[in-house]
Structure 1
Amino acid sequence: MSTAEGFLSRLTRRLTEDPEARDAEELTDEAAHTGAQRAIDCQRGQEVTMVGTLRSVETNGRACSAGVRAELFDGTDTVTLVWLGQRRIPGIESGRVLRVRGRLGALDDGTKAIYNPRYEIER
């Protein structure tokens, strides 16, 4: 296969594959290269470090009485980040990539959560 055929093959695959699946794969690869843990492998009570993209952010209001709540997706699973007592956190917005550290817990509905995580904005 020539270089041009290889390029066309990769381009065709990239254009036809599901963008959500591609994003999930890229996030999983990024987490693996940075030494972060995969959310799907983590258990409640564990001290964890994760890298992922914020899918949604809710600030102190009716929907989020606990402060700032964000949904972090690392390509394998979703973890809810909760900052208690905050109304807004500069830089915490949908689409950002974060590295978070904290103890994995759970919300009342069983969803994985980290309360007051330490974080670094990756991009």
Structure 2
Amino acid sequence: MGEGRSRLRQSISSWANSSDQHARDLQASVAGSGCGTIAAAPDREHVVLQGSLRTVTLRPRGGVPALEAELYDGTQVLTLIWLGRRRIAGIAPGREVRVEGRIGVQDNTRVMFNPRYELTS
């Protein structure tokens, strides 16, 4: 039983270390791009951010299609929402993008509606 727990701990530790490394790599990429970080970005002001898309989901809002994506830059997550869109070519989990827009707060979640975007990788 002890050996099984040890392997589980090693697996969890390995996963946590790779997640930490991914966060550090993203932070370095963002710093090199000249963009700000999500954690430091002010609400209701024009910002330019860069990061990796974690998830992309079609989630209708009030009967209108809405494409939602989670942008992660190693510091925090920002929800991107494109209203009236069912899909956008190139917007997929794992892609790196640069976005421009204003951050708002909806249901205690930081969101950016209809951001301008550029695929960076």
* TM-score interval (norm. to shorter): 0.7 to 0.9
Tell me what 1:65 maps to.
60
1:100 Cα shift? Answer: 0.5
- The equivalences for 1:65-84 within 5 A come to 65-66=60-61, 67-84=66-83
Tell me what 1:35 maps to.
34
Find out whether 1:92 has 2:91 as its counterpart.
yes
Find out whether 1:111 has 2:106 as its counterpart.
no
Q: State the identity as a percent.
A: 38
Unaligned runs of 5+ in 1: 1-14
Q: 2-side partners of 1:16 and 1:69: how far apart? A: 26
Q: Which amino acid aligns with 2:60?
A: S
Q: 2-side partners of 1:40 and 1:101: how far apart? A: 15
1:110 Cα shift? Answer: 1.5
Structure 1 stretches (4+) deviating beyond 2 angstroms? none
* 2:31 aligned counterpart, secondary structure: helix
* 1:27 aligned counterpart, secondary structure: helix
Q: Which amino acid aligns with 1:46?
A: E
Q: 1-side partners of 2:94 and 2:16: how far apart? A: 21
Tell me what 2:50 maps to.
51
Superposed CA deviations along residues 23-53 of structure 1, whole A, max 9, x for unmatched, are 1001111111111001001121121111100
Q: Between Structure 1 and Structure 2, how many residues are aligned?
A: 104
RMSD of Structure 2 on Structure 1 (CA): 1.5
Unaligned runs of 5+ in 2: 1-13
TM-score in terms of structure 2 length: 0.81
